[in-house]
Amino acid sequence: MTRTKSSVIEVLKGVIYFAKGDNIVDLGMVDELEVADNNIRFRLVFPKLGEASVNIVMGAATKALKAAFGEEIKLEITPIAEKDKGRGPLAGVKHIIAVASGKGGVGKSTVAANLAIALSRAGSQVGLVDADIYGPSVPMMFGTENMQPGVYEKEGKPVIVPIEKYGIKLLSIGYFVDSNKPLVWRGPMATTALNQLLSDADWGVLDFLVIDLPPGTGDIQLTLAQSYSVNGAVIVTTPQKVAFADVKRAATMFKQEKLTIPLLGLIENMAYFTPSDSPEKKYFIFGDGHGQQFADELDIPFLGQIPIDEKIAASGDNGNPIALDENSPVTKAFDEVAVRLREKFQ
């Protein structure tokens, strides 16, 4: 086969980047290709470096090119990250924060939504991804169930435009599926959906992209850690020890070497009850101090306590996250957590 740019590109189309389920040419990963005499030189642009797939893809590209053009060719393949290239859907995102929990029912999605609002109230540009593929709740909590993201074409590929509400850019699988039908998906389908929400969307310039993860430990968490530059994870728990047992497993997952997502801290949700007519009162129904104790046991910072308030459920159901209410003690609690998080990135 004659060595030309077009022939090299045709060969590289046979190299698949399995994290995104397509070949490296159509994914736009091949950059600054040069073909001269016996030399082939190019860069491979990855979402992030340090993942095992970098070496796998580079090895596959090397093998394919030598099989096509002979062992004597001189190859120079340099891996770079999307952010270093100054491109990619997340190139304008300064910080990515994942919100996780060990089990369902601890209010993780409520915390993620209101934390995004609180960060925005503090002056940050914020986006929110509902990565809880099997139980998306962002459309309801933001009152956007009947809305659909926009789409435009760029370089022959569709690009998703997030919905914007209350100054927050929003994307959720809930915007693309029938909310009345369950998602019966295997792991690869779920991770493909996550990649589309992150990589096929125009997020623009953001200070923070908050990602609401599914509860537990699974494919979504692994894909996020291995394919994207996540700056840290926030763990959400309730005061009960049975909840913390599952949270501990989730926290341990993020500490594994193959994940490499730092734990920014722990948020204790439903920490105490505050009556709406007596916001100065705190009733520690499940006991006081558990959140700090849990954070100490995990050796991570304690970010704060979020109270129980009867308005939380109603505000979420009505599409108005409670952190929009400046007079709510819950809003004050989220504002304090947002301040502590912002301080970590200054």
Say how far apart CA 46 and CA 24 lie, in whole Å: 10
pLDDT tens per residue across span 288-319: 888 898 899 889 999 999 998 878 878 888 88
Among 66, 85, 104, identify where a domain stops.
85
Nearest to 105 by CA among 224, 238, 233: 238
- pLDDT at site 259: 67
Say how far apart CA 257 and CA 237 lie, in whole Å: 23
The answer to pTM > 0.85 is no
Residue 38's domain comprises 5-85
- pLDDT at site 56: 93
- Same domain for 60 and 98? no
- Same domain for 106 and 225? yes
With a cut of 70, list the residues of the chain below it in pLDDT.
83-89, 155, 178-188, 216-218, 257-259
- Same domain for 70 and 201? no
Say how far apart CA 137 and CA 214 lie, in whole Å: 11
Say how far apart CA 252 and CA 297 lie, in whole Å: 11
- Same domain for 74 and 36? yes
Total of domains in the chain: 2
CATH value at residue 40: 3.30.300.130
- pLDDT at site 179: 61
Among 63, 85, 107, identify where a domain stops.
85
- Same domain for 109 and 43? no
- pLDDT at site 212: 92
- Same domain for 80 and 100? no
Among 85, 115, 143, identify where a domain stops.
85
- Same domain for 67 and 111? no
- Same domain for 128 and 19? no
The token pair at 340 is 């502590």
- Same domain for 195 and 54? no
Helix (H) or strand (E) holding 151: strand 150-154
CATH value at residue 120: 3.40.50.300
CA 111 distance to own-chain centroid:
15
- pLDDT at site 235: 92
- Classify residue 262 by burial, with Cβ atoms within 10 Å: 0-12, 13-18, 19+: middle
- pLDDT at site 217: 65
- pLDDT at site 195: 83
- Same domain for 103 and 22? no
- Same domain for 212 and 271? yes
